[in-house]
Amino acid sequence: MICNVSMVQATASYEGLWMSPHFVIARMKLLLEKYGNHDATTNGRFKKEREAWTSGMYALGLSELQNRQWWVEIETDEQTPDARVHYMDQSSGRNCIQTQSIEIVDWEEHVEDAVKVIKQKCQRAYPPHFCLLVLARNGKTLDVETLTKEVLSETVPFGEIWIIGCLSEGLMTMVRIVPSAIRFDFETVRSLEKLKKQRDIMRKLKRGTSTEVKELGFVYLPLP
């Protein structure tokens, strides 16, 4: 009322939203501050927020690795995938949206071996373009060579399998074991600083419009 700026209407859900890595990572921090570590990391009510954070860290790593702006979209209707990550490819002279569908699974503290987690997922039917993203939450050491051999001894439905985890405060690692081995470490603060000009949220438009996506500007997306 004082500054004559209209109130921003709250966005009701994640449906159709492309969120920047910075936005979803900061959002999880707010969730931890509001509800505490135990509830934020275990309560089923916050499953979408945890999936957004995991996908956001993965998208942040990809942005650093590939020098691209990746976006996170949380699936709200179907059971799979859990999330999608997108970037806008302009190499052909026009905007072309590139998308990767993400299935997320946690490697929990009580599970000794990541092979068990991955094999359980591989027993299900997934489209070959899906990526399995494993969040390591237990601090255990990973033998990438042995893990890769054991996983590839089975039928793998996924086009890619990545494991992401925290090495130390502010330092993340991403390890790809399928289709080939890649490891990439990145500092979250430094990587986020490179993306500081990236908008928080965009929305994909329908076909036939002049542009593929629309920046939403100031958006209020309340915490659960």
Contact 222, 49 (CB under 8 A): no
What percent of the chain shows pLDDT beyond 90?
Answer: 56
What percent of the chain shows pLDDT beyond 70?
Answer: 86
Q: Which residue has the tokens 């990438």?
A: 144
Domain boundaries along the sequence of the chain: 17-209
From the list 2, 49, 20, 4, the residue with the least C-alpha distance to 219 is: 20
Paired tokens of 175: 């390890």
Q: Which residue has the tokens 């996924």?
A: 158
The gap between the terminal CA atoms of the chain, to the nearest Å, is 27
- Residue 209: per-residue pLDDT: 45
Question: To which H or E segment does residue 207 belong?
Answer: none
Give per-residue pLDDT as tens, 155-164: 999 999 999 9
Most confident of 9-13, 55-59, 76-80, 204-208: 55-59
φ/ψ of 171, rounded to 5, equals -120, 115
pLDDT confidence of 210, banded at 50, 70, 90? very low
Paired tokens of 180: 């080939």
Give per-residue pLDDT as tens, 127-146: 999 999 999 987 677 778 88
- Residue 10: per-residue pLDDT: 56
| Average pLDDT, rounded, for the chain | 86
Give per-residue pLDDT as tens, 19-69: 999 999 999 999 999 999 999 999 999 999 999 999 999 999 999 999 999
Q: How far from 142 is each of 43, 65, 116, CA to CA, in Å?
A: 27, 21, 13
Judged on CB neighbours under 10 Å (0-12, 13-18, 19+), 1 is exposed
- Residue 144: per-residue pLDDT: 80
Beta bridge partners of 136: 107
